[in-house]
């Protein structure tokens, strides 16, 4: 019961510590890789969406009277 009553956010008020440089480098590389994958995915999925949209559009024929 005592564990439940403790506020976990009070533990966050302590001093912040610097992360090791090798861990920071790995995290930054992972973020860069994820950003690259997201940009490539957006590039290809955007192209496919435009192609499919162009294929599905029907051109209306002018009415001849």
Quote the pLDDT of residue 2.
63
Q: What would the DSSP string read from start to end of 1-65?
A: -HHHHS-GGGGGGS---PPPHHHHHHHHHHHHHHHHHHHHHHHHHHHHHHHHHHHH--PPPPPP-
Q: What is the pTM of this model?
A: 0.50
Residue 18 or 44, more confident: 18
Is residue 9 pLDDT above 60, yes or no?
Answer: yes
Distance of CA 15 to the CA centre of its chain: 30
Residue 60 or 56, more confident: 56
Mean pLDDT value of segment 34-57: 84
Quote the pLDDT of residue 62.
64
Per-domain residue ranges of the chain:
21-59
Kindly report the average pLDDT of the chain as a whole number.
82
């Amino acid at each position: 019961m005592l564990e439940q009553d403790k506020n976990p956010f009070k533990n966050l008020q302590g001093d912040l510590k610097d992360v090791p440089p090798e861990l920071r480098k790995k995290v930054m590389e992972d973020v860069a890789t994820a950003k690259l994958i997201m940009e490539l995915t957006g590039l290809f999925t955007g192209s496919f969406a435009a192609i499919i949209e162009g294929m599905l559009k029907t051109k209306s024929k002018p009415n001849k009277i």
